[in-house]
């Protein structure tokens, strides 16, 4: 049996060790193999794509362009409907624009803007354990995950997202989208690879059900 290929994008903006380890543990003894994506040619024969994000929106977008990954990633997930899981900033770049030091164009797959938490006296970054409230369950994020705690580290959040694309919300002063989904495209603001058994179940669901 030919193994299905999970493409893990190494954007160069963060350590991919934790998510790599979690994926390998999930697919052990299963008909899947992991491929690290460093260049456009590495996308060949990939069946699913995971983009872990650390650092800044602008840096991730810039690195995807520098590695000649941006256009091919957009084509594969938008035109060819290859399942995609974006983690943290990997989720945020699905937005139309990111607003850090300047306005940066994202993939514009799910309309909205990435903006900074601004409430006075709110501790930034939002870091640590917080729960997710499932609003619209699907095959990857079902009701069994409702009110489960996951691990966050972020200063920016997804704003002005259409309700139909919001799978789950989390409250940090106000509710923000912590999971988004549009067809084959999934994004999580938290880090499943750091979220113990709950996170491993999310990775497992994406790999085997998406």
- Cis peptide leading into residue 174 (ω within 30°): no
Active-site hit among 99, 126, 133, 193: 193
Alpha-carbon span 168 to 3, nearest angstrom: 32
**Is 79 marked active-site?**
no
- As given in the structure block, the two tokens for residue 10 are 């190494």
**Is 72 marked active-site?**
no
Residues in the chain: 210
**Is 133 marked active-site?**
no
Active-site hit among 65, 72, 79, 88: 88
Catalytic residue ranges? 88, 191, 193
């Amino acid at each position: 049996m030919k193994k299905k290929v999970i493409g893990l994008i190494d954007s160069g903006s963060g350590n991919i060790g934790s998510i790599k380890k979690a994926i390998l543990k999930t697919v052990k003894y299963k008909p899947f193999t992991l491929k690290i994506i460093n260049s456009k040619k590495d996308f060949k024969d990939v069946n699913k794509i995971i983009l872990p994000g650390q650092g800044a929106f602008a840096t991730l977008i810039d690195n995807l362009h520098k590695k000649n990954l941006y256009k091919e990633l957009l084509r594969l997930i938008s035109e060819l409907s290859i399942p995609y899981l974006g983690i943290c900033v990997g989720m945020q770049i699905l937005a139309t624009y990111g607003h850090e030091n300047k306005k940066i164009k994202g993939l514009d797959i799910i309309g909205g803007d990435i903006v900074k938490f601004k409430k006075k006296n709110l501790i930034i970054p939002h870091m640590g354990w917080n729960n997710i409230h499932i609003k619209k369950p699907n095959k990857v994020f079902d009701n069994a995950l409702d009110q489960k705690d996951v691990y966050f580290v972020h200063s920016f959040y997804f704003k002005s997202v259409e309700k139909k694309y919001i799978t789950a919300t989390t409250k940090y002063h106000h509710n923000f989208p912590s999971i988004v989904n549009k067809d084959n495209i999934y994004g999580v603001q938290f880090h499943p690879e750091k979220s113990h058994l709950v996170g491993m179940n999310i990775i497992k669901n994406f790999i085997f059900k998406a």
